[in-house]
A and B are shown apart, each in its own frame.
Chain A
Amino acid sequence: MASPVSVYNILESHTPPTRKESLKMELLSDVSLLPGEERITDKDIIYICPFSGAVKGKVLITNFRLYFKSSDADVTVTLDVPLGAISRVEKMGGASSRGENSYGLDITCKDMRNLRFALKQEGHSRRDIFEVLFRYAFPLSHGLPLFAYLSQEKYAETGWTIYKPVEEFRRQGLPNNKWRISFINKSYDLCDTYPTVLAVPYKSKEEDLRKVAAFRSRGRIPVLSWIHRENQAVIARCSQPLVGMSGKRNKDDERYLELIREANDTTKLTIYDARPNVNAVANKATGGGYEGDEYQNAELIFLDIQNIHVMRESQKKLKDIVYPNVEESHWLSSLESTHWLEHVKLVLSGAIQVADKVSSGNSVVVHCSDGWDRTAQLTSLAMLMLDSHYRTLRGFQVLIEKEWISFGHKFASRIGHGDKNHADQDRSPIFVQFIDCVWQMTKQFPTAFEFNEHLLLTILDHLYSCRFGTFLYNCESVRDQHEVRSKTVSLWSLVNSKVDMYLNPFYTPESGRVLYPVASMRHLELWVAYYIRWNPRIRQQSPVEQRYKELLALRDEYLKKLEQLQLSDSSTSSHLANSPTPNTTSSSTSTPSQQYTHLQTPL
Chain B
Amino acid sequence: MEFAEHIKTANVEDVVLRQPLQPPSRGTLCITGHHLLFSDREESDSRQVLLLLRNIDAIEKRMSGSSGTITMKCKDLRVLQLDIPGMEQCLNIAHSIETLSCLDCVSAMYPFFYRPVDLSLPEQWGLSSPEMHYSQMKELYEKWRLSTVNRDYSVCPSYPPAVIVPKSIDDDTLKKAAKFRQGGRFPVLCYYHKKNGMVIMRSSQPLLGANRKRCKEDELLLQAVIEGSDKGYIIDTRSMQQAQQARMTGGGFESKSFYDRWKRFHRQMERGKALQESLIKLVEACGDESNNMDRWLSKLENSKWLSHVQNALSTAGLLVECVERDGHSVLVHGSEGTDCSLLISTLAQLIMDPCCRTMEGFLGLLEREWIQARHPFQQRCAHSAYSHARLQQESPVFLLLLDCVWQLWRQFPLALGFSEALLLRLATEVYASDYGTFLCNSDQERCALEVKERTHCLFRALLRPTERDYYSNPLYERTELAIWPSVHPQSLQLWKGYFLRWTQQVRHLEEAQEEIRNMVIEWGKLARS
- Chain A residues within CB distance 8 Å of chain B: 1-4, 6-11, 14, 322, 326-328, 330-333, 335-336, 341-342, 345, 444-447, 506, 508, 518, 520-523, 525-526, 528, 532, 537-542, 544, 547, 551, 554-555, 557-558, 561-562, 580-581, 585-586, 588-589, 591-593
Contact call B522/A558, Cβ cutoff below 8 A: yes
Smallest beta-carbon distance B147→chain A, Å: 32
Of the A-B pairs whose beta carbons lie under 8 Å apart in the complex, a sample of 11, sorted by A's number, is A1-B412, A330-B301, A332-B298, A332-B489, A506-B519, A508-B519, A521-B296, A522-B296, A538-B488, A561-B526, A580-B522
Choose among B411, B486, B508, B524 the residue that contacts A554 (Cβ–Cβ < 8 A).
B524
Q: Which residues of B contact A326 (CB under 8 A)?
A: 488-490
Selected contact of A332 from candidates B297, B415, B512, CB within 8 Å: B297
Cβ contacts under 8 Å, A541 to chain B: 411-412, 483-486
A345 to B292, CA, bound (A): 11
User: How many contacts between A and B, using CB within 8 angstroms?
Assistant: 176
Q: Which listed segment binds A: B177-185, B217-225, B473-481?
A: B473-481
Residues in B neighbouring A593, C-beta threshold 8 A? 522
Nearest Cβ on chain B to A577's Cβ, whole angstroms: 12
Q: B523 contacts which of A1, A522, A526, A558 (Cβ < 8 Å)?
A: A558
In contact, A528 and B520 (Cβ under 8 angstroms)? no
Q: Contacts A326-B490, A444-B508, A528-B490: A557 and B325 contacting too (C-beta < 8 A)? A: no
Find the B residue at minimum CB distance from A540: B411
Instruction: Among A336, A342, A562, find the residue whose CB has the most chain B CB atoms closer than 10 A.
Output: A336
Q: Is the C-beta of B448 less than 8 angstroms from some C-beta in chain A?
A: no
| A11 adjacent to B321 (CB under 8 Å) | yes
Closest to B494 in A: A522
**Complex interface: chain B residues within 8 A of A540 (CB):** 411
Q: A541-B411, A542-B479, A544-B413 are in contact. List 8 more A-B contacts (CB 8 A).
A: A10-B318, A11-B326, A326-B489, A333-B298, A341-B297, A447-B515, A506-B519, A528-B491
Q: Does B371 contact A (CB under 8 A)?
A: no
Are A8 and B314 in contact, with the CB atoms below 8 A? yes
**A560 closest partner in B (C-beta):** B526
Q: What residues on B are CB-neighbors of A585 within 8 Å?
A: 466
Chain B 410-430 against A: per-residue CB contact (8 Å), 1 yes, 0 no?
011111000000000000000
Q: Once the chains bind, are B505 and A7 in contact (CB under 8 Å)? A: no
- Which residues from A are CB-within-8-Å of B301? 330-333
A3 to B487 Cα, complex, angstroms:
12
Q: Which A residues are in CB contact (< 8 Å) with B298?
A: 332-333, 336
A509 to B524, CA, bound (A): 20
What are the 10 closest A-B residue pairs judged by CB atoms, nearest first?
A: A8-B317, A331-B489, A332-B301, A336-B297, A518-B505, A521-B296, A541-B411, A8-B318, A592-B519, A558-B523
- Contacts A3-B482, A523-B500, A557-B527 given; indicate if A592 touches B490 (C-beta within 8 A): no
Chain A residue contacts of B485, Cβ below 8 A = 541
Contacts of B487 in A (CB 8 A): 7-8
Say whether B412 contacts A332, CB under 8 Å.
no
Quick check: B315 and A8 within 8 Å, CB to CB?
Answer: yes
Expressed in whole angstroms, the minimum distance between the Cβ of A485 and any Cβ of chain B is 39
B504 CB-CB contact with A under 8 Å: yes
Say yes or no: is B496 at the interface (Cβ < 8 Å to chain A): yes
Cβ of B514 within 8 Å of any chain A Cβ, yes or no, is: yes
Question: Once the chains are docked, how many angstroms separate the CA of A2 from the CA of B527?
Answer: 33
By beta carbon, the residue of chain B nearest A6 is B321
A10 and B293 in contact, given A446-B516, A592-B522 (Cβ under 8 angstroms):
no
Q: Which residues of A contact B490 (CB under 8 A)?
A: 322, 326, 331, 526, 528, 532, 538
Closest B residue to A523 using CB positions: B505
Q: Determine whether the beta carbon of A14 is less than 8 Å from that of B483.
A: no
Task: Report A139 CB to chain B, min CB distance, Å.
Answer: 35
When chains A and B are docked, how far (Å) is the Cα of A2 from the Cα of B481? Answer: 9
Supposing A332-B489, A521-B292 touch, asked if A9 and B512 sit within 8 A by C-beta, the answer is no
The reply on B259 being an interface residue by CB < 8 A is no
Complex CA gap A259/B500 in Å reads 45
Query: Which residues of A are found within 8 Å of B489, using beta-carbon distances?
Result: 326-328, 331-332
Question: Is B296 touching A525 in the complex (CB atoms < 8 A)?
Answer: no
Query: Beta-carbon contacts of B361-376 to A below 8 Å, as 1s and 0s?
Result: 0000000000000000
Beyond A336-B298, A522-B292, A585-B466, whether A547 also contacts B477 by CB under 8 A is: yes
- The CA-CA distance from A321 to B466 in the complex, in Å, is 47
Q: Cβ of B509 and Cβ of A345 under 8 Å apart? A: no
Q: For the complex, is B286 an interface residue (Cβ under 8 Å from A)?
A: yes
Nearest residue, chain A, Cβ from B411: A541
Measured between alpha carbons, how far is A4 from B518 in the docked complex, in Å? 34
Give 1 or 0 for each of B452-489: 1 = CB within 8 Å of chain A CB: 00000000000000100110000101010111111111
How far is the CB of B229 from the nearest CB of chain A, in Å? 15
